[in-house]
């Protein structure tokens, strides 16, 4: 039996059927990196929303009618009455009224920093911290506030937050499904290219078998070739995506800072995850090609 080294006895480098493989892998890695980065950013947003909103609620008190001074005095009295009720409610840890500057800061991302906000009859807001495990009875608390404070209403963040998180998780799940579909499409592409290459080089494979080459040796040559081509395509797809992710992070940092969405930049570990996608695609192609060759040769026996 002839001992085979690392050199290739199959003319795969001159095989025109596999030259298109990098150009198919590149857009797949491009789409996969976008889906993966979007999933990571989305889960980061969900975590921030949960940390910022969990264990809190807001009491809103409509501005009292009348001139500015009268309205401010009546609204201040309503706020003090509401805080007394909240402080006496079991499950409420703290209740504090937001100042005019804090209200303006909350509205600034949407309305801009303008003196017009100080002239508008803004409602008073009370930030309430509740016990996460033993919160107050919101129905009973709402009834007490309605009876004692005219124009008071409770905004329970958990209601809309749970819906928003559910929607975000569904979108993230869809992105994960896209990654799985892309991985399947990559495998199918490699299978097609490998089978086509085996058909083209069928006579050479038969000769190698006659002189003692094993199935594993032949499979290794196809696998190494698939690894090289997929890695080239994966790196190309990643390079095309870097400006997009960098631009998204820059936009999120400088345009949406302090807003509801927060920081849209990809974290460091997220960049590492995206960076390994070309290698992951290459290893997937190598494994797929190897298994395809073994399965095809087994049917040829």
Q: Is residue 57 part of a domain?
A: no
Between helices 215-254 and 277-300, what is the axis angle to 10°? 150
| 293 pLDDT higher than 50 | yes
pLDDT tens-digit profile of 102-143? 777 777 666 666 666 666 777 888 888 888 777 788 888 888
Confidence category of residue 297, pLDDT binned at 50, 70, 90: confident
Q: Which two tokens stand for residue 231?
A: 């890695």
Q: Is residue 166 part of a domain?
A: yes
Decide if 170 contacts 154 (C-beta within 8 A). Answer: no
Q: Are residues 143 and 169 in the same domain?
A: no
- Structural domain boundaries enclosing 134: 63-150
Q: Are residues 196 and 177 in the same domain?
A: yes
Q: Are residues 220 and 85 in the same domain?
A: no
Terminal-residue alpha carbon distance, the chain? 19
Q: Is residue 4 part of a domain?
A: no
What mean pLDDT comes out for the span 207-225?
Answer: 87
pLDDT tens-digit profile of 154-190? 887 777 777 878 888 888 889 889 989 999 999 999 9
* Residue 32 exposed, middle or buried by CB count within 10 Å (0-12, 13-18, 19+): buried
Q: How crowded is the C-beta side of 218, counted as CA atoms within 13 Å?
A: 27
Q: Are residues 165 and 290 in the same domain?
A: yes
* Residue 101 exposed, middle or buried by CB count within 10 Å (0-12, 13-18, 19+): exposed
Q: Are residues 143 and 166 in the same domain?
A: no
Number of domains comprising the chain: 2
Domain boundary among 115, 150, 185: 150
Residue 124 phi/psi, 5-degree rounding, is -85, 140
Q: Are residues 67 and 215 in the same domain?
A: no
| 19 pLDDT higher than 50 | yes
Domain boundary among 150, 172, 206: 150
Q: Is residue 205 part of a domain?
A: yes
Q: Are residues 280 and 166 in the same domain?
A: yes
Structure confidence at residue 203 (pLDDT) = 85
What mean pLDDT comes out for the span 218-243?
Answer: 91
pLDDT tens-digit profile of 52-105? 666 788 888 887 776 667 777 888 888 888 999 988 888 888 889 888 777 777
Confidence category of residue 290, pLDDT binned at 50, 70, 90: very high
Query: SS3 helix, strand, coil % of the chain, rounded to 5?
Result: 70, 10, 20
Q: Are residues 137 and 178 in the same domain?
A: no
Cα(222)–Cα(196) distance, integer angstroms: 11
- Average per-residue pLDDT in the chain? 81
Q: Which two tokens stand for residue 236?
A: 């190309």
Q: Is residue 2 part of a domain?
A: no
Domain boundary among 130, 150, 170: 150
Q: Are residues 181 and 271 in the same domain?
A: yes
Q: Are residues 26 and 141 in the same domain?
A: no
Task: Using alpha carbons only, give the angle 108, 113, 116 rounded to the nearest 5 degrees.
Answer: 105
**Which has the higher per-residue pLDDT, 271 or 48?**
271
Q: Is residue 6 part of a domain?
A: no
Structure confidence at residue 5 (pLDDT) = 42
Closest residue by Cα to residue 197 from 269, 109, 289: 289
Q: Are residues 37 and 71 in the same domain?
A: no
**Which has the higher per-residue pLDDT, 106 or 230?**
230
Q: Are residues 42 and 118 in the same domain?
A: no
Q: Is residue 271 part of a domain?
A: yes
Structure confidence at residue 167 (pLDDT) = 83
> What b/e readout covers 35-54, taking b as 16+ CB neighbours within 10 angstroms?
bbbbbbbbebbbeebeeebe
- Non-local (6+) Cβ contacts of 27 within 8 A are 237
pLDDT tens-digit profile of 243-281? 888 777 666 554 555 555 556 678 888 889 999 999 999
**Which has the higher per-residue pLDDT, 99 or 282?**
282
Q: Is residue 247 part of a domain?
A: yes
């Amino acid at each position: 039996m002839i001992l085979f080294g690392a050199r290739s006895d199959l003319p795969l480098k001159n095989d025109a059927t596999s030259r298109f493989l990098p150009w198919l892998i590149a857009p797949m890695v491009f789409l996969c990196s976008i889906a993966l980065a979007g999933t990571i950013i989305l889960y980061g947003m969900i975590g921030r929303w949960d940390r910022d909103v969990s264990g809190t609620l807001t009491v809103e008190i409509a501005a009292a009618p009348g001139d500015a001074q009268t309205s401010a005095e009546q609204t201040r009295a309503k706020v003090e009455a509401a805080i007394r009720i909240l402080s006496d409610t079991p499950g409420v840890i703290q209740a504090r009224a937001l100042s005019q500057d804090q209200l303006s800061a909350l509205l600034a991302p949407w309305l801009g920093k303008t003196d017009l906000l100080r002239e508008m009859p803004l409602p008073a807001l009370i930030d309430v911290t509740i016990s996460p495990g033993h919160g107050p009875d919101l129905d009973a608390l709402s009834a007490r506030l309605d009876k004692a404070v005219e124009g008071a209403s409770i905004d329970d963040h958990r209601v809309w937050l749970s819906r928003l998180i559910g929607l975000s998780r569904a979108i993230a799940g869809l992105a994960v499904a896209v990654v799985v579909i892309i991985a399947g499409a990559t495998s199918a592409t490699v299978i097609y290219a490998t089978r086509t290459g085996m058909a083209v080089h069928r006579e050479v494979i038969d000769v190698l078998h006659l002189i003692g080459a094993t199935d594993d040796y032949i499979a290794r040559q196809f696998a190494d070739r698939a690894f090289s081509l997929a890695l080239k395509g994966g790196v190309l797809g990643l390079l095309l995506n870097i400006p997009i992710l960098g631009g998204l992070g820059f936009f999120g940092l400088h345009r949406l800072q302090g807003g509801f969405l927060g920081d849209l930049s990809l974290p460091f570990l997220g960049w590492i995850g995206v960076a390994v996608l070309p290698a992951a695609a290459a290893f997937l192609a190598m494994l797929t090609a190897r298994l395809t060759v073994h399965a095809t040769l087994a049917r040829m026996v």
